[in-house]
Structure 1
Amino acid sequence: MDDLTLLRLFVQVVDKGSFSAVARATHTTPSAVSRQISRLEEDLGTRLLQRTTRQQVLTEAGEIYLRHARQIVEDTEAARRAVSQLGQDPSGVLRITAEADLAHALLSPMLPEFLAKYPNLRVQLHTSAKMEDLIDRGIDVAIRMGHLESSSLIAKRLVMSRSLLVASPAFLANNGPPSHPGDLSTLPCLSFKTGTERTIWRFKTGDEVRDVPIAGRFQVGSLVLLREAAKSGLGIAMLPIWTVRDDLDAGTLQPVLPGFPLEPPATPINAVYPSGRFLASKVRVFIDALSLWAETHFK
């Protein structure tokens, strides 16, 4: 029996709790299973299981060995699946989560062509502004905008999203365009807000970064509603360029303070998925397609 088979057998014994249970699952005898575990212990020079007439209990060495053995077995199975999928079309259900505005702007235009290319794939798209627990929710990939906190998740940057300040021509005519970031503190500003934290806009002038506190009568957690509020003349809004490009072209919104760069100058949009040495083909092809689409259409 090779080393990998012994590892699998040891993990099975721990998971099933007895030699008899493993023997029934592998169509052998409890004594044969016991001999193989004894052989493994002899090779390692230490006891992994304390045996009684009713059960096997892991020793301290057994607990340490189990962690490594389980990882090796899981990685081997994942490697086998990854290789076997290379010649197969991605299939099954691809579960995605994204904030609603981002899903509308980024995913809606590319999904029809993607699904046509992979007819054996089904997509379940869950829209939420919350940072979902991908593993607990069984989500394959999340699309998130913003800098990510350190975690066990893997992130692939799709594109950098640049923002700018905009307002309607009527608002600028009635209030006068600001000439300096400090002027914003006395003007009605519209903020994208989902919490109770104070809204601060940051600007970079030379080597200095200036924080400007924003006050206004309208706060909303939707980029679409924020854009519509700016178009209706309620105030000045900070919005990603991809949400207002058509309005800028049409003249229904105009740039505000274009000579004062925002800090940070751009925000990353990432595809995030649970860590793992091998990526399921359905996730891999989706991220590749989304990355290509974002690079060519979403700047």
Structure 2
Amino acid sequence: MEDISSLRLFVQVCDLGSFSAVARSTHTTPSAVSRQISRLEEYLGARLLQRTTRQQVLTEAGEVYLRHARQIVEDVDMARRAVSGLSNAPSGVLRVTMETDLAQTLLSPILPEFLAAYPDLRVQLHTSAALEDLVGRGIDVAVRVGHLENSSLIAKRLSTSRSLLVASPGYLEQNGTPQYPQDLVQLSCLSFRVEPDQTKWHFKSGESVLSVPVLGRVQVSSLIFLREAAKSGLGIAMLPTWVARNDLNSGRLVPVLPGYPLEPPATPVSAVYPTGRNLASKVRVFIDFLANKMRSDIE
């Protein structure tokens, strides 16, 4: 039979990843959970989960059913709280996606404070540089660095990310400190990209923009790795201030060409969420918390 308890159980299995995990959280047995899911599949006439010995994988029908089931469960919970007059404090599971570097550098230090402020919330964090299908994957909010083009999503500006060129004192002592952007052509410039095209760094020079082709022995897709490579003396790197700040303060990294601002001067950092429904309180408090913290941590 298809009822709210069946939908809720199915969503739990998908979130926790196994019958055993659900059984532990609901104080039942894995076989009982399996039987309930089987009865739901029989009622629907479709296989929702492909069972293996170690995990359950969603079928195509399961992915479609999960999107609707998750929303129904959330709507029922919201309606119950509204009618019963229960606490309006945010609760449930908050599903977030953001880039690994951003999560490690900015979210990780402040997450304990957020969870302490909202004890009824649980956070599921998916780290990815890809632009996820928020609705299809059931993600509540994404945090992204850069300009956003998808008009089907709502974006709230949290802060701006500013970058600068840095290098280790040892690298500059051994190879010389560039005085002009053109000097970078003769130096090792570490790139935050792994592509065959040549990288160019752009500088504001008066009223014009100066583009300088750069080349180095290291190209990576991780800002954290890029920072460590620069600290190791492998070359000059372009890093956001929020990645390099601690090492700049300690002197392990020093600014390069501070008199030539990079172009563009800043990149937006935004919280992105789907349109078409009222913003859930758990998403609203998370966005407000990030905006307050990132305003001082990034800019």
TM-score normalised to the size of structure 1? 0.70
1:286–1:224 CA distance, 2 compared to 1 (3 A): same
Show the counterpart of 2:36: none
- Give the aligned residue type for 1:282: K
Residue identity in the other structure for 1:219:
Q
Q: CA deviation at 1:217?
A: 0.9
The 5 Å alignment of 1:206-245 reads: 206-245=206-245
For 1:194 and 1:123, locate their aligned partners in 2 and report how far apart those are by CA, in whole Å: 31
Distance 1:108 1:251, change over 3 A: same
The residue matched to 1:165 in structure 2 has which SS? strand
SS of match in other structure, 1:110 = helix
- The aligned residue for residue 262 of structure 2 is 262
Measure, in 1, the Cα distance between the counterparts of 2:165 and 2:236: 7
Contact 2:198–2:215 (Cα < 8 Å) also in 1 = no
Q: Deviations over 1:42-87 (max 9, x none)?
A: xxxxxxxxxxxxxxxxxxxxxxxxxxxxxxxxxxx89x96x94995
Query: Counterpart in 2 of 1:187?
Result: 187
RMSD: 2.3
Q: Any conservation in 1 of the 2:190–2:219 contact (CA below 8 Å)?
A: yes
Quote the Cα distance in structure 1 between the aligned partners of 2:169 and 2:178: 13
- Deviation string 1:156-178 (CA, Å, 9 cap, x unpaired) is 11111111000111111111111
Distance 2:206 2:138 in 1: 46
Indicate the residue corresponding to 2:246 in structure 1.
246
User: 1:94, 1:198 → 2: CA distance?
Assistant: 40
- Name the counterpart of 1:62: none
The SS at the match of 1:284 is helix
* 1:86–1:262 Cα change, 3 Å: farther
- Point out the structure with max Rg over C-alpha: 1
- Sort the Cα spacing of 1:283 and 1:197 in 2 relative to 1 into closer, same or farther, 3 A: farther
Q: Alpha-carbon deviation of 1:298?
A: 3.0
CA distance in 2, matches of 1:179, 1:138: 50
Tell me the residue number matched to 1:27: none
Query: Percent identity between the aligned chains?
Result: 64
Aligned equivalent of 2:91? 91
Question: 3-state SS of the aligned residue for 1:218?
Answer: coil
Kindly report which structure 2 residues correspond to 1:63-142, keeping only aligned pairs within 5 A, or say none. Answer: 84=82, 88-142=88-142
Q: Distance in 2 between matches of 1:175 and 1:296?
A: 35
Quote the offset at 1:272 in angstroms: 0.7
Number of equivalences: 223
What 5-or-longer segments of structure 2 have no aligned partner?
Answer: 1-74
- 2:212, 2:87 → 1: CA distance? 55
The residue type equivalent to 1:234 in the other structure is L
Given residue 209 of structure 1, which amino acid in structure 2 is its aligned partner? V
User: Does 2:204 correspond to 1:199?
Assistant: no
Tell me the distance in 2 between the aligned counterparts of 1:243 and 1:151: 29
**Could you say which residue in structure 2 is the equivalent of 1:146?**
146
Contact 2:242 2:297 in 1 (8 A): no
Which amino acid is 1:269 matched to? V
Distance 1:212 1:273 in 2: 37
Cα distance in 1, alignment partners of residues 272 and 265 from structure 2 = 22
Give deviations 1:10-53, integer Å, cap 9, x for gaps. xxxxxxxxxxxxxxxxxxxxxxxxxxxxxxxxxxxxxxxxxxxx
